[in-house]
A and B are shown apart, each in its own frame.
Chain A
Amino acid sequence: MDRPIFHFALAALVALLLPFFIRSGTLATEVLVFAIAAAGCNLLLGYTGLLSFGQGIFFGLGSYTLGLALIHTTLPLLPTLVLAMIVGSVVAIVIGALSIRRQGVYFVMLTLAFAQLFYFLAYTFSDITGGDNGLIGIPRRGIGPLALNSSWSYYGFVAVIFLISFAALQRIATSTFGRTLLAIRYNGERAQAIGFPVRAFKIAAFAVSGAVTGLAGALHALLIGIAPLSDIDYHMSESLLVMTIIGGTGNLFGSVLGAAFYLIVSDTLSAIWPRWLLLLGALLIVLALFIQKGIWGLIESGVGIVRGRRGGPDAMAPGVSGSERP
């Protein structure tokens, strides 16, 4: 259950099967876009132990960067996505570097303050961002001969990027760097004491997270054809954190589950009842109370119980489920 290749196969399966379960190409695409962003959030929260409200900033700036580039320049699509990643990453480095000067609650407060600040900036400079109306009229450029003008062709494009991002994040999570981040999450003081400049590593984690989240933001703007103000709202940070946490922190595939769950449930509830947010809130409370390791944790213990009954080797031994992962 802990093998990266297995998790990648699951992610590929999700990308392959979503179209069969979700009739709306937009919703299906949104699931993958937010899965990328949640995985980026997970790198900070699950692997480094940093609860950042800055994620919405990186996401929103990704949206604006793509929008501005496609509207005002003739840049092809792929370089535009790279640009969004660079912007997300650079801003994440700056915000990360300033925020990690404080720890715990004060760190969280700082990222929250930055989230408010950037929202306000986007709102105020409406000449550039479109303010309340969002940045509208973003053309969806194709890639070479590939036109991405139908919702399912765009889904295919996003699915490929999703899988590349997922594999890259997996590689990073199991790299020397990723394991060092995990060590920092488990015991930052010891990590520092054995010689790691912990702050620099946290900033590097921000850089990666910012790039991935900026990419997701760009894909989101391209999906809906506008870069809405809500992409940079601090509610965006909140949603991304909720997806990451209900999916299960410290496990990248958990983020895919979290994003899918959050978006599909929201979509279903909103069709049933206009006050659906109330239901979503109640559901999240129940989840937070009863499944502390997220959906992935629930699945892991489910598998553990089944294997235990069959007398599988070590299925319920302490520390086996996620002994190497948080």
Chain B
Amino acid sequence: MKGALLSTDGLGVRYGSFTALSEVSLSIGANTIHSVIGPNGAGKTTLFHALTGRVRPSAGRIDFNGHDITALTDDRRVRRGLARSFQVTSLFHRLSVRENLRLAAQGRTPWQALKMWQPAERNQDATAIADSILERLELTRVAGRSAEELSHGQQRRLEVGMAMASRPLLILLDEPTSGMGIDDIATMKRLIADLGRDHTVLFIEHNMGIVMDISDRVTVMQSGRKLVEGAPGEIRDNPEVRRAYLGSMMTGGRA
């Protein structure tokens, strides 16, 4: 597909003898918001692991921004402009919120962090990025607290902020609203839509309201495979999708 920022061809992942992902061919258009849905265990997170280089695919290839990145390690993919958030919050819990973001910003140019003689606060670029994200996530007030002291909703926002901090071309969000209350969900929805303006966003989500409202395209996964893909409207009306979900999860949508 033309204008694709990321594409996969026949991507597969095995955990031992168990095939968690097979024959997944995706194409994510630049500057689109693309969501991935599917029941638990469908392989959505595994797909993210493969895209970010956390697990090595057993088959297929990944192209990103015009380059084959299949063999690149995860830290190198960050330098190419790929960043992610995690389904289970994964922060530097004892470090301050600001430092969490400062580190994440620094991750884009990691070799500069080998400077043993430069005080950490002296990294003006990274600190400036951290401050602007704090502002955007409305976390400025708690910037000095350690990450573990934040509320769940704040931690989930920081989790997304960690991915934003490396200023990626493509940002992958793994269930950003998991465990959130209604108010926090609304904030997160606005944030994701907003991110879509200056990034390409690929996100996994169970909340159909968000998926249907802000996605340009939706990919449905089941049992490690891609079931269907289409615009939100097509997905909502697709009988196969309805069957896969037994109708249960489609009720959250606007329709």
List the interface of chain A (C-beta within 8 A of B): 171-172, 174-180, 182-183, 186-187, 189-198, 200-201, 204, 208, 318-319, 323-326
Chain B proximity of A94: nearest CB distance (Å): 19
With a cutoff of 8 Å between Cβ atoms, the chain B residues found around residue A192 in the complex are 74-75
Q: Is the CB of A177 within 8 A of B115?
A: yes
Q: Which of B48-98 contact A (CB under 8 A)?
A: 52, 54, 73-75, 78-79, 83-84, 86, 90-96
Q: Is the CB of A326 within 8 A of B113?
A: no
Task: Knowing A175-B117, A178-B120, A180-B113, say if A193 contacts B52 (CB, 8 Å).
Answer: yes
Chain B proximity of A314: nearest CB distance (Å): 12
Task: Knowing A186-B94, A323-B146, say if A194 contacts B116 (CB, 8 Å).
Answer: no
With a cutoff of 8 Å between Cβ atoms, the chain A residues found around residue B93 in the complex are 186-187
Residue-wise interface mask of B (91-114) relative to A, using a CB-CB cutoff of 8 A (1 in contact, 0 not): 111111001000110111010111
Q: Is the CB of B112 within 8 A of A194?
A: no
**Number of interchain pairs (Cβ within 8 Å):** 110
The 8 Å CB contact of A176, one of B79, B84, B118, B148, is B118
B33 at the interface (CB under 8 A from A): no
19 contacts between A and B (CB under 8 A): A174-B119, A176-B119, A176-B123, A179-B120, A180-B113, A182-B92, A187-B91, A187-B92, A187-B93, A189-B90, A190-B91, A194-B83, A195-B79, A195-B108, A198-B75, A201-B114, A319-B145, A319-B149, A323-B94
With a cutoff of 8 Å between Cβ atoms, the chain A residues found around residue B149 in the complex are 318-319
Cα–Cα distance between A326 and B93 once the two chains are bound (Å): 10
With a cutoff of 8 Å between Cβ atoms, the chain B residues found around residue A195 in the complex are 75, 78-79, 106-108, 110, 166
Chain B proximity of A93: nearest CB distance (Å): 14
B165 at the interface (CB under 8 A from A): yes
Chain B proximity of A236: nearest CB distance (Å): 26
B162 at the interface (CB under 8 A from A): yes
Report whether over half of chain B's contact residues are helix, strand or loop; otherwise say mixed.
Answer: mixed
Chain A proximity of B157: nearest CB distance (Å): 16
Size of the B side of the interface (Cβ < 8 Å), in residues, is 42
The 8 Å CB contact of A197, one of B94, B103, B110, is B110
Listed residue (A176, A198, A324) with the most chain B CB atoms within 10 angstroms of its CB: A176
Q: Is the CB of B94 within 8 A of A204?
A: no
Cα–Cα distance between A319 and B112 once the two chains are bound (Å): 30
Q: Is the CB of A186 within 8 A of B92?
A: yes
Chain A proximity of B41: nearest CB distance (Å): 21
Cα–Cα distance between A324 and B120 once the two chains are bound (Å): 13
Q: Is the CB of B95 within 8 A of A324?
A: yes
With a cutoff of 8 Å between Cβ atoms, the chain B residues found around residue A176 in the complex are 106, 112-116, 118-120, 122-123
Task: Knowing A174-B119, A183-B92, A326-B94, say if A193 contacts B54 (CB, 8 Å).
Answer: yes
The 8 Å CB contact of B119, one of A175, A186, A197, A324, is A175
Q: Is the CB of B119 within 8 A of A194?
A: no
What residue of chain B has the Cβ atom nearest to residue A180's Cβ?
B113
Q: Is the CB of B166 within 8 A of A194?
A: yes
Sort A-B residue pairs by CB-CB distance and give the 8 closest, nearest first: A195-B107, A195-B78, A194-B107, A179-B120, A177-B116, A194-B104, A180-B113, A186-B92
With a cutoff of 8 Å between Cβ atoms, the chain A residues found around residue B94 in the complex are 186, 323-326
With a cutoff of 8 Å between Cβ atoms, the chain B residues found around residue A171 in the complex are 116-117, 119
Task: Knowing A186-B94, A190-B92, say if A196 contacts B75 (CB, 8 Å).
Answer: yes
